[in-house]
Amino acid sequence: MAVKVMIPTPLRAYTGKRDSTEVSAGTVGEALSGLTTQFGDLKKHLFTEDGKLRSFVNVYVNDEDIRYLAKEATPTKDGDTISIVPSIAGGCAPSCCCR
Amino acid sequence: MSEVPILRLNQDLSDKIRAHGAETYPHECCGALLGRDLDAPTTNSSDGASLASREVTALFALVNRRDDSPRNRFSVTSEDVRDAEKAAREKGIDVVGWYHSHPDHPAKPSQFDQDHAWPWYSYIIVSVANGRPETMTSWRLADDRTQFTPEELEIAGKDAAAHSAS
């Protein structure tokens, strides 16, 4: 089943500037696996060395966060859109201003 | 060979970021930088990443979701990120980075900033001292995530020297 995977801007350097691609997959895990097969350099940015999805990477199927579904086992169907959404956080050092 | 990439934004947007930092003081402010790369990358870093200069043409101000420690941390939800990406798409541009403030702290990335940053994005930091916005800087994380490198902030229509407080 063909699903569309949306690539966020910081990862397009590893997809030849493409903002989306299509892969054949029945689950989110299969889709991400297909994606990293297609674009090998993406793997280290999406997965830890032991193959787990990085904590700063969020994945949506259509408008649903897979953390609240079946995570990487979340089933996909033809025409679904998977979005990779980077976590954004930061801040000054703990000692900078307040306790 | 390495050149410092340029991040260009106009005076109005620069003022808005600084005003946002003053408004939320003593808490950190945050938001998305929307824009586009200006040209084909001309600089290759040692790890092969390329850095094109870019232009910020709009901002997408966000609410700092770190209720527990908003004075020295910021975070946004993935819904916020999706909203920023949608706003950019509707304008035919991209999310090219993020801004936040450092209340009573220099405009330099912290280790926490580095640990939570992504390569490619531009990260603007504005220091706010006693409620007054001061120095504003911009940074990019190396592809191997080991360090931030500065990029040159070019404020259109304004003397760069007048922009950065000493």
Q: Return the residue in A62, A88, A96, A98 with the most chain B beta carbons within 10 A, the one to mutate for interface testing.
A: A88
Alpha-carbon gap, residue B8 to B98, rounded angstroms: 14
Q: Say which amino acid occupies B145.
A: R
pLDDT band (50, 70, 90) for residue B134: very high
Largest CA distance in chain A: 52
Alpha-carbon gap, residue B153 to B8, rounded angstroms: 6
What is the ipTM metric for this complex? 0.88
**Counting beta carbons within 10 angstroms of the beta carbon of residue B12, is it exposed (0 to 12), middle (13 to 18) or buried (19 or more)?**
exposed
* CATH domain A2-86 topology: Ubiquitin-like (UB roll) (3.10.20)
| Domains defined for chain B, CATH in brackets | 6-163 (3.40.140.10)
Averaged pLDDT, A51-75:
95
Give the rounded percent of residues in chain B with a pLDDT score beyond 70: 87
Record: contact B76-A8, CB cut-off 8 A = no
CA dihedral B60→B136→B121→B101, nearest 10 degrees, is -60
Record: contact B81-A86, CB cut-off 8 A = yes
Chain B from 78 to 117: CB within 8 A of any A CB: 78, 80-82, 85, 94-96, 98, 100, 102-105, 109-113, 116-117
Averaged pLDDT, A65-89:
96
Alpha-carbon gap, residue B47 to A94, rounded angstroms: 31
pLDDT band (50, 70, 90) for residue B72: confident
Give the rounded percent of residues in chain B with a pLDDT score beyond 90: 72
Alpha-carbon gap, residue B11 to B107, rounded angstroms: 19
Alpha-carbon gap, residue B77 to B63, rounded angstroms: 9
Reference B29, options B109, B114, B124; nearest CA is B124
Alpha-carbon gap, residue B97 to B35, rounded angstroms: 9
Averaged pLDDT, B128-146:
95
Domain boundaries of chain A, sorted by first residue: 2-86
* Alpha carbon of B158: minimum distance to chain A alpha carbons (Å): 28
pLDDT of B39 strictly over 80 = no
**Within an 8 Å CB–CB cutoff, is residue B146 touching chain A?**
no
Q: Which residue has the higher pLDDT, A28 or B41?
A: A28
Q: Beta partners for B65? A: none
Per-residue pLDDT, B20:
98
Alpha-carbon gap, residue B3 to A72, rounded angstroms: 41
Give the model confidence (pLDDT) of B43-68 as tens digits: 444 444 567 899 999 999 999 998 88
B49: nearest CA partner in chain A: A13
pLDDT band (50, 70, 90) for residue B81: very high
Between the two ends of chain B, the Cα-to-Cα distance in Å is 29
pLDDT band (50, 70, 90) for residue A3: very high
Per-residue pLDDT, B66:
87
In 10 A of CB B107, how many CB atoms?
22
Closest residue to B117, CB basis, from A58, A90, A92: A90
pLDDT of A65 strictly over 70 = yes
Per-residue pLDDT, B70:
86
Give the model confidence (pLDDT) of B142-161 as tens digits: 988 899 999 999 998 765 44
Closest residue to A65, CB basis, from B66, B78, B103: B78
Alpha-carbon gap, residue A85 to A5, rounded angstroms: 11
Alpha-carbon gap, residue A76 to A80, rounded angstroms: 6
Name chain B contacts of A91, Cβ cutoff 8 Å: 28, 66, 69, 72-74, 100, 102, 110, 112-113
Alpha-carbon gap, residue A68 to A46, rounded angstroms: 19
Lowest mean pLDDT among A72-86, B34-48, B127-141: B34-48
Q: Which residue has the higher pLDDT, A15 or B1?
A: A15
